[in-house]
Structure formats: structure tokens, C-alpha cells
Structure 1
Amino acid sequence: MNGVLQELVERGGGLVTRAVARQVVPEWTLERACGSGGLVRVLPEVFVAAHLLGGRQGVGSGAPALSRLDPALGRRAALAWADGRGALSHLSALVVWGLRRQRAGDLLHLSAPAGAGLRSRPGVTVHRRQGLVLEPPQVVVRQGLAVTRLEQAVVDSWPLLPPAERRAPVIRAVNDRLTTPERLRSALEGAPKLNDRATFRTLLTRLAEGCRSPLEIWGHEHVFTGPGMPTFRRQVRVCVGRRTMYLDMFAERERVNVELDGATTHGDPRQREIDLRRDALLASIGILVVRFAHRRLVHEGDDVRRETLAILATRRAGTRV
């Protein structure tokens, strides 16, 4: 490959566009580099160093060249092709926002204004959107990449994900304080025909009520509601000395905190020690901690419900003595 062109490609992190290359080398130099196998065209007017198209696990040799790139380089290539006319969106935006890991062979997604002149190509799907403005607040720059705002990306991705994977990005976005249930609900209102919209709305309701994990949502819907159950306060902030803690489900009158231990914490000695210290601190201010493991909550829900009601009744009786 021509030395000047090779330096240009290296400075571009393995990528160069025709417009940039033509500023420093003749057109035939670029064509010769492609003909000799030094460069490969991955999108119209976008080229990458051929050695960067090494086989990725799970991606066949017949896959589009764009899909055979390292995901980060693929995203850069898609935006270079868009040339300011589009932004990463949908599942690709979730990756940039840190809410999903890009998988081998995943299509890249771009959103563009209706009149931008972009159309889908092998390895990249273009979503044309009326009224899209490629500026804040609709589009922002994150990690140096133009990307649709988080709330829009979450809503757009909902129907593209398998049903079992839809809740995780929503829950994580709220838990990581990247957004709020209210802002997500506002974005959802702009998608009245979204597939499985009712499930999304219910999830946002549970998050607004303080649920912060699939297990807590399960408990709320199947165990800790109904006759005899108090209205638990969720994610209650409690300070003991210099320690600040958040209680999963707090029955204020009975001063009982119900903690739901996820499957990943089962059998972890270090986490068990942390929990014991935390429970002792809460006991020092009169709060009883009751813990239920993932297995019991899911498979022995009726027993968990009866035990919780009995504990609450005993605590109420004790306050009257």
C-alpha cells in the first residue's frame, strides 16, 4: 500500500473514507490499495485495513464485511458512511450507552431524518424518522459517537429484543441513574404502536414504585401484595452512624425490612458477611431484616407469603405489649 495512504489509515484507527483519502493521494492510489488487498470497502466510500477483517467467533466468512469488524470499528465505519446524516440508534445505541453488549454478527442500526438519503446496506439497517433532528436533545455525542438519546434508544430497542431480554436494559438504565421511569414513560408515549407496549408500561410502573430487579418485580406481583400485606415502602434510605443503606421493602409500622436475595448472591461467603454486618446495624435501631432467597421466592411463594404475614403480625403484637 502507498506509504502516505497507509499512514492515513493508521491515523484513522484502521479506517479511511474516500473523501479524506482524496485530499492527500490520487484516486487511483485508493483503488490500487483495494485491488491489492490492502484495503477493503465495508460501506460506500468507507474503507478499512484488510487485516482488521479477521474472523470473529460466531460470524461466518459469508457475513457482510461490516459485521466481521471489531464492533467499535464497525460503529465508527457506519457513522463515517452516514457523514453527519444519521446517528447510532436502537440496539447499537444501547451498546454505546452501556446497556447491552454487541454480539457477533449483530446488525448496526442508524436513525436518519426522512430526507437524509441513506438506505440500509449489508450489515447496517437505516431507520428513517420524520422530525428527527441530529442535535441535542434528540441526538447526543457519547464516547465520541453520535447516538440517539437514551430514552429513545430503550423504547426503539424493546421490540427488537427477545421477550426474555427486554426488561434488563430498562431496569439497568434506571438503576444506574441514567434516566427515570417518568422520562422513559414520556418516550413511550411517542410510540403508540409499539409491540408489547402494555408490558413496558407495567414495568415502568413497577420501577416507579421502587422495584429495582426482576426478582423484586416478581415478589411485588406474586407474593407481597393482597389481603393482610402492608403497603411496603421501597428503596428507603436509612443512615446508621456513617453508614447509608437502602431497604428493599420496608414495613414502617412493624419496622420490618424484607430483603430479596438474587440467585447470584447465593453461596457467596463475602456477600453473606456484608449482609450480616448490615443486618446487625439495622437491628441496632430496631429494624428486623427478613431475607428470602431467589429459589424460595419463585418456587415457594405461598410459604413466603404466609411467613411474612406471621412475622408482621408478631411485630405488631409486640408493639402493643
Structure 2
Amino acid sequence: MGTHRALVARLTDEVDRMRRGRIAAPRGALLRVLGRRLLERAVESGVLVRLLPGVYAPADLATDHRVLCHAVTLASRGRAIIAGRSALHLVNDAYPAPRVVQVIVDPSSHAPRAPWIQARRIPAPGPAWTLRRCRVLTPPDAVVDAWARAPVERRRAVLYDALWLRCAAPAAIAEASSGRGKVPQRAELLAILGEFIDGAQSPGEVMARREVFRHRRYDEFERQVPVVGDGRGRPVDMLHRRARLAVEIDSEAYHGAPEDVARDHARDVELSALGYQTVRYRFRDLRDRPEWCRRTLDRIVAVRLRDLA
């Protein structure tokens, strides 16, 4: 009885260790801790599952993207480099994980195969680094790889998400792109990044200008201009002077600190005192429901022009 309890405790401790670290484990390490019979029982009972040959994880972590990335690193002995959106998810948990683990494998190397692994057989674009026990592309290279893998209609969203979450700096991404031999739609990628290098403050600002409010009916809006009153200039993302309307973009993500929120609130009050209504659009609104953003802004402009007539 005592021996059984000791075995159960040993297995529980090991599984808890893997859960706490959100990691997989190689068979050799598990054999040293559990022994062959206890490992076999753990697999038979469904406590542990085999993710790849010689690599195991707790059953409740079998679909955890971070654990799957670690399993690929273990099974390939570091030869498969975590890339693309998988790498960006490791950089920032808030970056959406893809349905498959995206990796880069040198054409001369072997990598594990599984339906949930998407491998590009190309030389690594640059040095990898270790992150969360995985070999991972650097963030700028990961962004370029994610852009290259994405369907054409999804590429801009992949980039904007990475910029919004500050996974990598725009200039570093541009440098990584320029250092590669072939990048699909490189000119489009560099054009977006160039807006940041030229002074754009946030992904929402660029998305609003290039994607959401780019139609001719928005030509009357001035971009990044100050509203002057009481001897002070208050910068505004988009300004419609006839409608006395100020549009602010992205404040939730890029002005989240209490002092930033207080400053934005004070500016809204000051703009109201000057006769301007302030409307704010979040990055998520621009990304997920651009038509709603256009529809509501069109209505607000129409109402303001009517009321001011």
C-alpha cells in the first residue's frame, strides 16, 4: 500500500511540475523519474499522452500551443525552429496561436511530422534564441515569416496584431524583411512599416488611414493635426473641422496607464469646451468590424453637420 501511494505521489508531482511550467518531457527524463512501468501506466490511464515519438505531456495540456511548441523542440533536438505566428504567441500570449505549430527546418535536417506541425524547409533567416524552453526565431524574423505564411487577405491583420501587441519594432521588422531573398508582397509590408518609421504613433492610426477610413468621403478629415485654443495645441488623430468632430484611435492599447487615461479625459473635456465632440475607436473595432466603424462615423458626421447648420 505504501509503495502504491509513493508511486502515485511521484507521478502526481511530475505531472504537476509539467503543468506548472506548461512543458512537455522526453521519455528518457520520465523514465529516470517514474520508471518504465509507472510511465506505461500513466499513458494507459490517460494521465500522460504521447505528443511525438519520445515526447509526452499531461493529457489536459495536449492541445496547449506552448506545450506543443516545446514538444517539437524536444523531438527535433532544436533543429526545428519555432517560427511565424507560433513564435509570436510565445513572445506574447495575447497574440493568437495558430491551429498548427509553425516551424522552419533547414533542408538538410529532419523534423518530426504530425498533422499539427507546419514546416517550411528553408534555411533559418537569422539566429534563433531560446524562449520558454523552445528554439524560436527572433521577433522581427517571426513577423516576416508569419506574413509570408499567411493568405494574402490575412497578411495585414497578422502584421497589425504583432505591431499592436508590440511583439517587434517596425524598423526591426523592415530590416528583417530587407535581409531576406524573397518575401511575398514585400513592397506592401514595407509601405505599412514605413508609416511607423515616418512617425505614425500606433497600429490603429495606420489601419484607420490605410484600411478603414480610406474612402473618398473621408478626404475632408485632416490627419494628425493640432486643435489650437487658449494658446495650446491639442493633437488629434482625425479632425473634421466643419462637423467640429475629433476622432481618436487606439487610446485603449497605447494610453492604458492611469496618467494617460487622465490626460486623454482632460483633452476630451478641453476639446468639448472648444466645441469639438470626441469619438474614440479601439484597435479591435477597426480590425474586427471596420464596416461598423465607417457606418457610425458617417452617421455622427451627418448629425453634427445637420445640428451645426
The alignment's TM-score, normalised by the length of structure 1, stands at: 0.61
Q: Deviations over 1:95-142 (max 9, x none)?
A: 123362226xx1112234444432432322233332566xxxx32344
Partner residue, 2:136: 147
Rounded to whole Å, the distance in 2 between the matches of 1:283 and 1:92 is 45
Q: Which residue of 2 aligns with 1:270?
A: none
Q: Which residue of 2 aligns with 1:195?
A: 184
Q: 1:102 aligns with which of 83, 97, 102?
A: 97
Q: How many residues align?
A: 265
Q: Which moved more, 1:168-177 or 1:82-91?
A: 168-177
Alignment of 1:215-294 (within 5 A): 215-218=208-211, 221-223=214-216, 233=224, 247-248=236-237, 259-261=246-248, 277-281=266-270, 294=293
Distance in 2 between residues matched to 1:86 and 1:12, nearest whole Å: 22
AA partner of residue 65 (structure 2): P
Q: Return the letter of the residue paired with 1:212.
A: P
Distance in 2 of aligned mates of 1:179 and 1:26: 44
Q: Runs of 5+ in structure 1 lacking a partner?
A: 54-67, 266-272, 308-321
Moved more, 182-191 or 23-32: 23-32
1:212 equivalent to 2:203? Answer: yes
In structure 2, stretches of 5+ residues that fail to align are 253-261, 282-292
The alpha carbon displacement at 1:186 in A equals: 1.5
1 CA distance for matches of 2:163 and 2:16?
Answer: 39
Aligned to 2:287: none
The one-letter amino acid paired with 1:195 is P
Task: Name the counterpart of 2:56.
Answer: 47
Post-superposition shift, 1:299? 5.9
Quick check: 1:11 aligned with 2:17? Answer: yes
The partner residue of 1:166 within 132, 151, 155 is 155
Letter in 1 for 2:184: N
Secondary structure of residue in 2 paired with 1:125: strand
Number of the residue aligned with 2:258: none
Q: Is the 1:87–1:147 Cα contact (8 Å) retained in structure 2?
A: yes
Q: Is the 8 A contact 1:109 1:125 kept in 2?
A: yes
Question: Does 2:116 align with 1:127?
Answer: no
Higher helix share: 2
Q: Quick one: percent identity of the two aligned structures?
A: 22
Taking a change above 3 Å as real, the CA distance of residues 245 and 71 of structure 1, as seen in their structure-2 partners, is farther
Asked if 1:88 is matched to 2:97, the reply is: no
- The secondary structure found in structure 2 opposite 1:20 is helix
> How big is the alpha-carbon RMSD for the aligned residues of Structure 1 and Structure 2?
4.7
State the Cα distance separating 1:49 from its structure 2 match.
Answer: 3.2
Q: Is the 8 A contact 2:54 2:75 kept in 1?
A: yes
Aligned to 2:64: 70
1:14-29 alignment to 2 at 5 Å? Answer: 15-29=24-38
Q: Is residue 206–residue 217 contact of structure 1 (8 Å, CA) maintained in 2?
A: no
The more displaced of 183-192 and 110-119 is 110-119
